[in-house]
Amino acid sequence: MKFSDNISLQAAKKIVNDNLSHGMHCPCCQQYIKQYKRAITSSMARCLIIFYREQRLRPNEWLQLTKIFIKKRRMQPNDFTKFKMWKMIIQKPSEKDDGNPDSGFYMLTEKGEQFAKGEIEVPRHCWVVRDEVDSFSTEMTTIKKALRNKFDYGRLMNNEQ
């Protein structure tokens, strides 16, 4: 798609918004922009429960993902960090002078704890543009629905799985 150099900002915004689902290069800055659909998967839900169990043992502590998942359980945390989009986890703010984030330290939010315990429903999907949530689905899910038939909620909460 080729654009004129004198396209108005309003026209450029409309073109980008109309093509978000397919993706395109912005007619103003040429940056690639696309809207991505993200879902709470069964493996994410499993990781959230494991993280919740660890957080219960150390409330108000920043927990390092590699220690919880890779070293202790020899498993990958998959898309666990996407829970930031639902505001269920927060990442530790950087304390380094160079601005480099303290990689891999997270804490559950109250919402994350409530979801892990099965107390609330949250939107099943969100749509993301440039790492920011653009919108949420109206379809809701619970932790048990998110686990589907792949994992047993009771066994996970009792540290049996």
The enclosing domain of 74 has a CATH number of: 1.10.10
Q: Residue 15: inside a domain, yes or no?
A: no
Q: Residue 10: inside a domain, yes or no?
A: no
Q: Residue 16: inside a domain, yes or no?
A: no
* % of the chain with per-residue pLDDT over 70: 86
Q: What single-letter amino acid sits at 65?
A: L
What pTM, to 2 d.p., does this model score? 0.80
Residue among 112, 56, 65 nearest 89 (CA): 112
Structure confidence at residue 2 (pLDDT):
56
Q: Residue 109: inside a domain, yes or no?
A: yes
Q: What are phi and psi of 26, to 5 degrees?
A: -60, 135
CA-to-CA distance for 48 and 37, rounded, in angstroms? 20
pLDDT tens digits for range 12-33: 888 888 888 888 888 888 888 8
Supply the range of the domain harboring residue 85: 42-123+138-157
* % of the chain with per-residue pLDDT over 90: 47
Tally the domains of the chain.
1
Residue among 94, 95, 84, 101 nearest 40 (CA): 84
- Please count the other Cβ atoms lying within 10 Å of the Cβ belonging to residue 146: 23
Q: Residue 89: inside a domain, yes or no?
A: yes
Q: Residue 68: inside a domain, yes or no?
A: yes
pLDDT tens digits for range 65-108: 888 887 666 677 778 999 999 999 999 987 666 656 556 899 99
Q: Residue 34: inside a domain, yes or no?
A: no
Q: Residue 88: inside a domain, yes or no?
A: yes
